[in-house]
Amino acid sequence: MKRNIAFLCLLGMSLLITAANAGTVQPDWVGPNIPLNPTDGHYGFEDGVDGQVVASNVAGVVFTTTMGYDWIYADIRTGGYNMRYPLVGNFCTWLGVSGDEGRIDFTDGTATYFSALVSTPSYIQLDAYDENGVLVDSATFSGSNLDTGKMIRLTVQAPAIAYVMMHDSGNYWIMDEICTDAPGVESDGTPVPEFPSFAVSVCAIVGMLLTVMIVKRRES
């Protein structure tokens, strides 16, 4: 009996660890993005100027010019953008009318995760790379969230992420609300609820498995 319980506990922890190392997609996200830890960096682009290049305005991060196109701020209050795209607040970022692939580098050291809220009418992919340019994780969404009022949360995780790439097949997306534990990236002060810790999740799964085993033992 004890061996069965121990096996189930180890299996639950193994499944959680496996999930933590794979890209995740949460398609019905409402509200600001949530950092994995309270001290992690969070940036919502709300301090931008419409049309201005993002570049190195965020400490610890560089929004790199990719294939000749810059990440730029977009202020929806100008009326110059398609308001079918959900976002948080008044600002987001995109690559202009022609760019479809954008790179974000971590300048002060590697990260173990990066998440962002996105809007798209068709397809969007977030890729994470290590310092050698090796792809270490991906999160992909296919579909549309236009006119829903909800965003898509993409998260990539790996032991040492040096940079990430966001892309689709024709520049039909926007990005908002990034979170990461990359060194030097600070919070912009936007209030966000605390994300449950990994330890709490493990305890919850183990507790559930133990409860099931106890109930079955009593019934037998």
DSSP state of 78: G
Higher pLDDT, 219 or 74: 74
Helix, strand or coil, per DSSP, at residue 198 = helix
DSSP state of 138: E
User: Across the strands, what pairs with 173?
Assistant: none
Can you tell me the distance from the alpha carbon of 53 to that of 23, in angstroms, rounded to the nearest whole number? 28
Can you tell me the distance from the alpha carbon of 8 to that of 15, in angstroms, rounded to the nearest whole number? 11
Tell me the backbone φ, ψ of residue 117, rounded to 5 degrees: -100, 135
> Mind listing the pLDDT tens digit for each residue in 177-219?
999 999 999 887 666 554 444 333 434 444 555 444 544 555 5
**Chain position carrying tokens 């790996």:** 158
Amino acid identity for residue 206 in this structure: V
Q: How confident is the model at residue 143 (pLDDT cuts 50, 70, 90)?
A: very high
> What is the value of pTM for the model shown?
0.78
Q: Which CATH class is domain 23-195?
A: mainly beta
Higher pLDDT, 193 or 46: 46
Q: Is it the case that residue 12 has pLDDT exceeding 90?
A: no
Higher pLDDT, 36 or 16: 36
Q: How confident is the model at residue 67 (pLDDT cuts 50, 70, 90)?
A: confident
User: Across the strands, what pairs with 30?
Assistant: none
Domain ranges for the chain: 23-195
> Mind listing the pLDDT tens digit for each residue in 16-30?
333 344 699 999 999
